[in-house]
Chains A and B, each alone.
Chain A
């Protein structure tokens, strides 16, 4: 028992630190603080709800299927899959940005609440897991069958964004208050 626990702890630590070394994560952090990656910023443009519904809608699929043209059907599937994967990547980039901004604001708060932070982090992990699952499911089955799950992820993501907005509004209000005082 102790042997396997040691092995797991050692292996995870070693792998994580090797990733830190090779990816230069801790070293690159300050650059990210000063100037967020512009490519990621571009990806932050929210996708309209109608577009998301369209990506995962069965109506277009049924229309194309009605044409009874195999080549168009395949082309449609490929394109839809590509668009759906871009949407998933965009959503997960938004979630990561929200989490990064939260962490950057919270790390300097002296009375930060441990359990709240754990809750937010757990929610972040859940969302990232949902996005990962979605991505794999889209690769395997295509986006048309995943409408329900996608909407669920979208709504969860929006809730986290709202949370973040309220957090930011609070910090701005305080900063303004301090400036006047």
Chain B
């Protein structure tokens, strides 16, 4: 009963989000995000029919579409990055490096192996591993946005907060959720998406432009010079530190 309520609430909210997105033309500004929402709506409708057909088909359809949704969700993260950092090439460079580090660390730490990507592993385990990498990537981006004081418009902020909170909550739920029983974590896992949809609907009701930087500083050559000075100063600081510790 509760599962049905969550499912139908999701469908209604997704429809409302798509309609408002088309009405306010936000769907053309954030195409990856609205494609993701449209896909999840389609996924919900397909799984309803699959559930009526057979339990086995439902499971296969559910997990196949879940992983496609995960891939489309990653495109949403890239869209957030691309739109918000369009006017900030320095931070964009930092973001590319940070994301590369997150993915390389995930590969180096053998995330797929430790998650049990073998024939015996479950879809739930694989999803948990992939969602964790996604959570780490979003975390790195949010820290960058905060450090570099990137101003966010209401629309983009809503997309980022909604998707980030959804992923964070989903990762926590996946650590506890059981495949056999429909316990608290199962419902929390499903309801996290409803919360994200509510947040999106509130932030994406109408178009609000993202603030643009006021001053355009050209630092191409100076940054090299300053970087050299910075490195020299840091070496001095390091020497000072060593002296302070040694004395």
A interface vs B, CB < 8 Å? 1-3, 5-7, 9-14, 16-18, 20-21, 25-27, 29-30, 32-34, 99-100, 103-114, 116-117, 119-121, 123, 152, 155-156, 159, 162-163, 166-167, 170-171, 173-175, 178
Q: Give every chain A residue within 8 A of B150 (Cβ-Cβ).
A: 26, 29, 107
Please measure, in the bound complex, the distance between the C-alpha atom of A20 and the C-alpha atom of B218, giving whole angstroms.
30
Chain-A contact segment, one of B1-9, B33-41, B60-68, B220-228: B220-228
Q: Offer 27 A-B interface pairs, CB within 8 angstroms, sorted by A.
A: A2-B111, A7-B171, A13-B135, A16-B139, A17-B142, A26-B145, A26-B150, A27-B157, A30-B151, A34-B214, A108-B216, A109-B217, A109-B219, A109-B220, A109-B222, A109-B223, A110-B89, A111-B224, A112-B93, A112-B223, A114-B93, A116-B231, A156-B240, A162-B233, A166-B226, A166-B229, A178-B218
> Measured between C-beta atoms, what is the minimum distance from A6 to chain B in Å?
4
Please measure, in the bound complex, the distance between the C-alpha atom of A108 and the C-alpha atom of B149, giving whole angstroms.
12
Choose from A34, A99, A117 the contact partner of B94 (Cβ within 8 Å). A117
B178 at the interface (CB under 8 A from A): no
Report whether B169 and A14 are in contact in the complex, using a CB–CB cutoff of 8 Å.
yes
Given known A6-B175, A29-B151, A103-B147, contact A174–B138 (CB-CB < 8 A):
no
Please measure, in the bound complex, the distance between the C-alpha atom of A13 and the C-alpha atom of B222, giving whole angstroms.
35
Q: Give every chain B residue within 8 A of A17 (Cβ-Cβ).
A: 142, 161, 164-165, 168
Q: Give every chain B residue within 8 A of A114 (Cβ-Cβ).
A: 93-94, 97
Given known A14-B165, A114-B93, A152-B244, contact A6–B229 (CB-CB < 8 A):
no
16 further interface pairs, Cβ-Cβ under 8 Å (given A117-B94, A121-B147, A159-B237): A1-B114, A2-B129, A2-B132, A10-B132, A10-B175, A14-B169, A21-B161, A26-B151, A107-B88, A107-B150, A108-B219, A109-B220, A119-B231, A170-B219, A170-B222, A174-B221
B90 at the interface (CB under 8 A from A): yes
Report whether A9 and B139 are in contact in the complex, using a CB–CB cutoff of 8 Å.
yes
